[in-house]
Structure 1
Amino acid sequence: MQSRSNASMRPNPGFRWHAVAAIAAVLSLLAAGLFAATVPAEKLLPPPPAASFEAEHAGVVPAGFDRRKQVIDESLAAGKAVGWAGRYYYGDRFASNVYLSLAPGAGLVVTETGCLGLYAANHGSLVDGTDGVLRISYAVPASPQGGSFPGELMPLSWGRRQYLIPPDQLAAFATAINHGKEPRDGDGGGSFLLRVGDEYQPVSGLPSLPTSMLALLRREPVEVEIASVEVRRRSKPGDICVSNYWVRVVPTAAAVPPLFVGEVLLPIDGNDRATVIASQGQSAEAEIVVFQCNDRFAPKLGMRLTTGAYNEGRGAGR
């Protein structure tokens, strides 16, 4: 039996509860009829300067940030950088948006912005390891001001696209492909750092994942159902109540490939997504997070979920 792992899909670095609170606040305005405007689907733009944010919401830009950003911008403009250099983005284009720029010899700058302004900013130096992983030494340790940005990034190419994926999120990236979340297209946001502009580029074949991770891309979906439910933990960060349920899932058909740790299962006939935390033969344990502390919102026995599967034809230049 595989041990329970931290490799399960979790909120991406930089995303914190203020983003959830911001969404809740806007939903409240909608309910009151005070917010009727919709957010237009515009092309991704560089983040506004920190000086334009309201002071009460402004994050702290650490010393040396502007100078490093200038050096990176000059390196990118000179066209001397390697393939993974560039400007990247992930987020929902509203409550949480992470912009990252990097170049060899120049380092990295990264910001998280949202509907309340600048949440965090950081910068650092890069070490390009022999294992293909970029390791980052940040100027400010992880903190509300410095952010909780990833300390390691693996450059991945997919056709003309370039991604930067934290090594502990490779399984999450593979499962996002299985569910059609990647390759993302057009003006929508996403959960993984993609070079700005590459969302319009076609893909071909498979991404340059390590061989062990390519094995996680499914050709046929596996359908499972919940056989047992157990609440493991409840917490209340701020005004939000969170319940963590562990469920046992079993396949609805015989002799199917096993689930893998970190795989995300999406509901067929329910609302709850599950992340596999342990797998043994034809059954697995998974975690479901519910933003309620009333058990009437708990996952239901018999609820069906699927692994999804990747169809190469759907991903090219949509």
Structure 2
Amino acid sequence: MKDHRGVRRLLVISALIAGIWLVVLPWLTHRPGTRRYIARLDAQGIDPSAMYYTELPPHLFADALARQQHPWAGQYYEGDGLGTNRVVTLTAKGELSESNQGCVGKAAIWHAAFRQANGVIQITTPLAENSSHYSFARDRPSSYLIVHWEERVYLIPPEDILSFCGAWASGDEPREDGHGFFLLRIGDEKKPAEGPPELPLGFQRYLNMESITAKVISVEPPQQQPPDSIENRRVYEQSVVIDAGTVAGVIPKMRFDIRSPAKIHINATVVSVRPATSELLLRHYVFDDDKVTPATIDWEVINRDIFRR
């Protein structure tokens, strides 16, 4: 008898929860604020599922949507819809919020303040970060170029401008749906974009520039770093100097790949630039008993640009 009473009690509780949910869900969906919110999405051709990718407070998201006609304020998306989804929201008041969504859930949520001048968004003061897996601070851009392309607006980190121009040259941009490799304001993917994009002053030369290749001319020995979050992986950092600088188009934080010797996968990021040379920080990831392969003089590097390969 006790077992039967326990089962009946469980069924009653389950039915009660289901009944409450059936009452609450329509209220959430049909209350005036939500109807206006979804109608605003529909009116601008925005997929309501984009709401899934943001952790913005409702007032910030509503503000971003209301300012969709603003020259640059709004919500921007890049990703494949599966393992990589990134949303950056800018408000006209100078607030930025970023959400990184992967196949295992939200990896990081970040809020910051910024200022805008001459088509450049400059991050000024990080406000807060809530990360459940991994801090993206090392790879997060410190500034964005506001790139207008007829009625479209993109946010492009300066260090990625050559890759963005490569996407234009290859026809990968302007894209025809929301998924892509560059931050595009949500809703703009259906807007026309003919001819080349309008780059901010000082960046026009990248439109017709080829990939940047260079040779390593100076190396420091690799230094082992504290263990990271991945088991059995060791991290080494190594500073090298290459024979290309601002004259060749190198920009701080620009990423390079190893061209020769082949099949060596190392993250290489520009940390400082001079007219004819640049310093790169190489991060070597070594698993288990494998040995690190230090960079040597005459290694060849090429800027990371998947659209020109």
TM over 0.5: yes
Helix, strand or coil at the partner of 1:68: helix
Cα distance in 1 between the residues matched to 2:271 and 2:94: 38
* Residue pair 1:216, 1:260 contacting (<8 A) in 2 also: no
Helix, strand or coil at the partner of 1:175: helix
Is the counterpart of residue 69 in structure 1 residue 56 in structure 2? no
> CA 1:202/1:281 → structure 2, altered by over 3 Å: closer, same or farther?
same
Is the counterpart of residue 237 in structure 1 residue 237 in structure 2? no
Q: Deviation at 1:227?
A: 4.0
* Residue pair 2:217, 2:241 contacting (<8 A) in 1 also: yes
> CA 1:128/1:257 → structure 2, altered by over 3 Å: closer, same or farther?
closer
Is the counterpart of residue 156 in structure 1 residue 147 in structure 2? yes
Q: Deviation at 1:70?
A: 3.5
RCO comparison, higher one (Cα < 8 Å, 6+): 1
Q: Deviation at 1:162?
A: 0.8
Is the counterpart of residue 175 in structure 1 residue 162 in structure 2? yes
Cα distance in 2 between the residues matched to 1:225 and 1:44: 48
> CA 1:114/1:249 → structure 2, altered by over 3 Å: closer, same or farther?
same
Residue 239 of structure 2 corresponds to which residue in structure 1? 246
Residue 195 of structure 1 corresponds to which residue in structure 2? 185
Question: What amino acid is aligned across from residue 269 of structure 2 in structure 1?
Answer: T
What per-residue deviation string (whole Å, max 9, x for no partner) do you get for residues 154-184 of structure 1?
A: 532134431124xxx31x1223236548746
1:274 is aligned, of 268, 271, 275, to 268
Is the counterpart of residue 142 in structure 1 residue 121 in structure 2? no
Cα distance in 2 between the residues matched to 1:138 and 1:202: 34
What number of residue pairs does the alignment pair up? 242
Is the counterpart of residue 205 in structure 1 residue 199 in structure 2? no
* Residue pair 2:217, 2:242 contacting (<8 A) in 1 also: yes
* More helix by percentage: 2
2:294 is aligned, of 288, 292, 298, to 298
Q: Deviation at 1:248?
A: 3.1
Cα distance in 2 between the residues matched to 1:108 and 1:284: 31
1:82 is aligned, of 53, 58, 70, to 70
* Residue pair 1:175, 1:264 contacting (<8 A) in 2 also: no
Question: With structure 1 as the length reference, what TM-score do the two structures score?
Answer: 0.56
CA RMSD, 1 decimal: 4.5
What per-residue deviation string (whole Å, max 9, x for no partner) do you get for residues 271-316 of structure 1?
A: 445333345565443222222275443335543233489x9xx9xx
* Residue pair 2:235, 2:284 contacting (<8 A) in 1 also: yes
2:214 is aligned, of 219, 224, 233, to 224
Cα distance in 1 between the residues matched to 2:126 and 2:251: 33
What per-residue deviation string (whole Å, max 9, x for no partner) do you get for residues 8-53 of structure 1?
A: xxxxxxxxxxxxxxxxxxxxxxxxxxxxxxxxxxx99514278xxx
> CA 1:111/1:266 → structure 2, altered by over 3 Å: closer, same or farther?
closer
Question: What amino acid is aligned across from residue 238 of structure 2 in structure 1?
Answer: Y
Q: Deviation at 1:89?
A: 0.8
Residue 50 of structure 2 corresponds to which residue in structure 1? 46
Show structure 1 runs of 5+ residues with no match.
1-42, 51-60
Instruction: Please identify the structure whose Cα radius of gyration is greater.
Output: 2
Show structure 2 runs of 5+ residues with no match.
1-46
Cα distance in 1 between the residues matched to 2:58 and 2:126: 13
Question: With structure 2 as the length reference, what TM-score do the two structures score?
Answer: 0.57
Cα distance in 2 between the residues matched to 1:92 and 1:110: 17
Residue 115 of structure 1 corresponds to which residue in structure 2? 103
What per-residue deviation string (whole Å, max 9, x for no partner) do you get for residues 206-230 of structure 1?
A: 432232x334556344432334443
